Structure formats: C-alpha cells, structure tokens
Amino acid sequence: MIQLTVNGQKRDVDAPADKPLLWVLREDLNIVGPKFGCGVASCGACTVHVDGKPVRSCSLPAGEAVGTSVVTIEGLGEGRLHAVQQAWIEAQAPQCGYCQPGFIMAAAALLTAKPKPTDQDIDDALNNICRCGTYSAIRRAVHRAAAILGGAT
Ligand code: FES
Ligand code: FES
C-alpha cells in the first residue's frame, strides 16, 4: 500500500511502489488525463506535476512520488479553467487532442518558472511530441496564456 497526494487529496493505493505513476493514476485512481504515448519518457503525453515540476509519469515509480504533491490536468485549474487551458481554447490549439494534456502541464510549469517565455524557451521546455503537428498553435497558446497570467484580458 502506498499513499499519494493527487490533486490535493490523499489517496491510498494498493499497488507496488515500482509501478509507474502513470499507471497508478490511470488504472488505480481512474485519473485518465495523463496519456500513454511511448512509455520511455520521450513523448511527454504522460506529463504531470510533482511538487510543481513537470515529470513524465510513465517513467517515475509511484513510490518516488510518496510525500510529494502530484497534480494532473484534472487538478490544474482547481475546479476552474486554468489560464493555460483558457488560452488553449482561445488559440484552438488541439487537433486530435491526445497529446495536449501533457503539453498543457508542461506549459503551466514553464510559465511558473518563466512568465514571459520566448519561442525558443517554449521549444526548449515543451519538447513533447504531437503527431498532429500542432506546434505553432501551441506556441501561440503559450504566449496567450502568458498574457492572461500577466493581467491581459
Ligand atoms: S508516455 Fe511518458 S513520455 Fe511518452
Ligand atoms: S493534437 Fe493530435 S497528437 Fe497532438
């Protein structure tokens, strides 16, 4: 049994400590926003925040998340749309949508660390893979999110 804090709630999970966090979230906790893409920390579809940092949950043993605060896309806005999600809607960033939770989580972490990122900052921090090729829309969405967080309407 391991105890995790996910989206602000303490959750007891009957899973081995070496089970990847992604699969604990999806299979044991029915939190399915984090997606499975590659399973080897390459694509970013499974990105969640662990103590505010973007982490590829397919490659993190759940036991290593004990004692941390895990946030998934379901908890990002704390019951409302987060500014990044609002910007994503305004910029019409997704196509099929599969990769987008990972991009949004990575973008939210980037904007916390760097409130006014350049295109290069975005490309460096959001090295996720989108098979639909939404990269330019995602850059637009991140700039829009930066504007919203900076007080623009
Ligand atoms: S599924 Fe985790 S990085 Fe691809
Ligand atoms: S929107 Fe389809 S994979 Fe990115």
Determine how many CB atoms are found less than 10 A away from the CB of residue 137.
17
Q: Best of 36, 42, 132, 138 to mutate for ligand 2, by most ligand atoms within 8 A of CB?
A: 132
Q: Residue 18: which domain range? A: 2-71
* pTM score of the predicted model: 0.97
- C-alpha torsion 16→20→21→25, nearest 10: -80
Q: What is the pLDDT of residue 153?
A: 65
- 135 alpha carbon – ligand 2 mean position (Å): 9
The per-residue pLDDT for range 41-91, each reduced to its tens digit, is: 999 999 999 999 999 999 999 999 999 999 999 999 988 999 999 999 999
State in Å, rounded, how far the first CA of the chain is from the last one. Answer: 46
Ligand 2 atom at minimum distance from 133 CA: 4
Q: Residue 12: inside a domain, yes or no? A: yes
Beta strand extents in the chain (DSSP E only) = 2-6, 9-13, 47-50, 53-56, 69-71
Phi-psi map region of 7: left, alpha, beta (phi>0 left; psi -120 to 50 alpha): left
Residues with CB under 6 A from ligand 1: 36-39, 41-46, 56, 58
Q: Which pLDDT value is given to residue 40? A: 98
**Residue pLDDT, tens place only, 84-126:** 999 999 999 999 999 999 999 999 999 999 999 999 999 999 9
Pocket test for ligand 2, best of 43, 130, 135 (most atoms within 8 A of CB): 130
**Total structural domains in the chain?**
2
Give the separation between CA 58 and CA 135, rounded to whole angstroms. Answer: 22
Ligand 2 in reach of 24 Cβ (< 6 A): no
Question: What is the CATH number for 117?
Answer: 1.10.150.120
State the Cα–Cα distance between residues 113 and 32, nearest whole angstrom. Answer: 26
Question: Looking at this protein, which amino acid is placed at residue 103?
Answer: F
Q: DSSP letter at 24? A: I
67 plus 94 within the same structural domain: no
- Among 71, 93, 116, residue at a domain's last position: 71
